Amino acid sequence: MRSLIALVDRVIAGIGKAGSLFLPLLMVTILVNVFMRYVLGIGSIELEELQWHLNAIAVMSCLAWAYQTDAHVRVDAFHTRMSRSAKAIVEVLGILLLLFPFLWNVTASAWTIFEYSWKLKEGSPMPSGLPARYIIKFVMAAGLGLLFLQGVAILLKSLLFLFGPKTSAE
């Protein structure tokens, strides 16, 4: 089971690091769009939509990685004062009662939306917009799927910590 967790962690980290490379491209796209709009007086639907797409790629590919590295926002004000066992119990309950039910519904809907978009070969509703809008809908569904996969890995880690053999590092 530890090798499965390590594999999921490596894949998620690789995808997250690759997705983070879209951020400089996003910044350049925004700067070009702002320069064209406010200095040259030229608006560009393509650049507007490209910004949305690049942002979606960066966010959806890094979402699971942020969860893996505990870089996400925690609402639990008591988390820092908890023992490792209490944190693991809260993590298990949070994953099973909140994360998985939420992701089950949202991810299923996202895949349905992607499938519909794919069948239509959906593009931008704007004449000068980007084609193949189904690609970004795939990225969103896949990103949610990756978050679910990372949730499984963290659930397994927490269960191993609580019920598995104790090692000297624990």
Q: Quote the pTM value.
A: 0.87
Selection from 139, 155, 169 nearest residue 4 by Cα: 155
Q: Tell me the pLDDT tens digit for each residue of 49-86.
A: 999 999 999 999 999 999 999 887 776 677 778 889 99
Q: How far apart are CA 52 and CA 150, in angstroms?
A: 25
Token digits for 52? 């949305």
- Domain range summary for the chain, segments of one domain joined by +: 2-163
Please report the pLDDT score of residue 132 as a whole number: 86
Higher pLDDT: 71 or 38? It is 38
Selection from 150, 161, 4, 152 nearest residue 71 by Cα: 150
Confidence band (pLDDT; 50, 70, 90) for 167?
A: low
Buried b (16+ CB within 10 A) or exposed e, 63-80: bbbbbbeeeeeeeeeeee
